[in-house]
Amino acid sequence: MALDPGVATRLKRDPQGLVCAVVQQHDTGQVLMVGWMNDDALEQTLTTGRVVFWSRSRGEIWRKGDTSGNIQRVRSVSIDCDGDAVLVTVDQIGPACHTGKHSCFEEGGDLGALDVVTAAENE
């Protein structure tokens, strides 16, 4: 199957032909991970109920959970105003991160940004 032309024409792909895919747990709102999709991965994500990425490191289509069992069931897919990113809400089975952490951002961790709002409240 080819990606719906009405969707394909809205995509603003990077030089590698990819758009950014933000994956969010549908009920808690937790951002679980960021992946990358080519047209084929987005088409499969839109039509099969499973989240499918393009693996930039392996250079191949990657259906999340086929190896780990930690699949992502699609709830919705939205595109942003300029077409270079999609937001995929999912029901995540098991952890999203390959390290076993629930979110890839829990694994990477906080970078200690200056938080002006909290700093002001504590003055």
- For residues 47-66, one letter each, b for 16 or more C-beta atoms within 10 angstroms of the residue's C-beta and e for the rest, the string is eeebbbbbeeeeeeebbbbe
Position 91 contacts its own copies (CB under 8 A): yes
DSSP conformational letter for 99: T
> Looking at beta carbons only, is 22 or 61 nearer to its own copies?
22
Q: Minimum Å distance from CB 79 to its own copies? A: 4
The amino acid present at 82, given as its one-letter code, is: D
Q: Is 71 in the site for its own copies (CB under 8 A)?
A: no
- How many other C-beta atoms are found inside a 10 Å radius of the C-beta of residue 86? 21
Residue 64 or 88 having the CB closest to its own copies:
88
Residue 41 touching its own copies (CB under 8 A): no
Q: Report DSSP letters for 17-68, one per residue.
A: S-EEEEEEETTT--EEEEEEE-HHHHHHHHHHSB-EEEETTTTEEEETTTTT
Q: Is 115 in the site for its own copies (CB under 8 A)?
A: yes
Task: Tell me if 101 contacts its own copies by CB under 8 A.
Answer: yes
Binding site for its own copies (CB under 8 A): 7, 10, 14-16, 20, 22, 24, 28-31, 33-34, 45-49, 73-88, 91, 97-99, 101, 104-118
